[in-house]
Structure 1
């Protein structure tokens, strides 16, 4: 029996749908626990190769944004045994968390409105951004 082929160098391991859903739900729960503002999910599966979901949320201050990012990273590591990459933590105006299958953008409100990622990443039809818990 031949040995399994290794993933190409630099390629992110692929997760099944259940693992992606678990990761996405963990991130949304963490943001809810930390009282994030205007949490929005943009489904990317089949539309972009970068991730299956993009989550965008705001914090009321740089301190809250940094705290939310650190808690997400810790919870993903503790509960799912996955590591994440974080950028922007020192200034915490805009923090990017790359959890491979889910990309999280955390902003201070004025920075979020300036970049307006929801509009940039909005897809027509069923791929429009959604707020968790919003009626379909």
Structure 2
């Protein structure tokens, strides 16, 4: 599966669970860590966990294994490693503190129209 397809599946999963301020950074020319960082936040611990679970479920339905999931118990910053896509699901307060968008400011933002799975109408 292409990393762009994986990104769209994960972003759509975030959106399905009302993840807030969903942003994807194109990391291909900036870092060797991953092709994309997907960043969003939830308003409380339960929502943060729900978003992470939905990402895990949706990518596994599409035959992709989650490499690692960290921070689930505390639910302040859950990292879901999908290899080419790394998802950062923050609690609202933690997101503004860590501000990954600024930290990785050299990375291009993926346009919203390329971020979500297109519904077949």
TM-score surpassing 0.5? yes
Residues in 2 aligned to 1:83 and 1:96: alpha-carbon distance in whole angstroms? 11
Q: Quick check: 1:95 aligned with 2:78? A: yes
Over 3 Å counting, the alpha-carbon distance change for 1:53 and 1:85 in structure 2 is same
Measure how far apart 1:130 and its partner are.
4.5
Q: Quick check: 1:128 aligned with 2:108? A: yes
Structure 2, unmatched stretches of 5+, are 115-121
Structure 1, unmatched stretches of 5+, are 1-17
Structure with bigger RCO (C-alpha 8 Å, 6+ apart): 2
Moved segments of 4+, more than 4 Å: none
TM-score (norm 1): 0.77
1:1-136 mapped onto 2 (5 Å cutoff): 19-123=2-106, 127-130=107-110, 132-133=112-113
Q: Secondary structure at the match of 1:77?
A: helix
Measure how far apart 1:131 and its partner are.
5.8
Q: Secondary structure at the match of 2:62?
A: helix
Residues in 2 aligned to 1:35 and 1:112: alpha-carbon distance in whole angstroms? 16
The count of residues paired between Structure 1 and Structure 2 equals: 114
The superposition leaves residues 83-124 of structure 1 with CA deviations (integer Å, 9 ceiling, x where unpaired) of: 33100000101101110000111111111111111100111x
Larger radius of gyration: 1
Say what the alpha-carbon RMSD is for the aligned residues: 1.6
Over 3 Å counting, the alpha-carbon distance change for 1:130 and 1:21 in structure 2 is closer
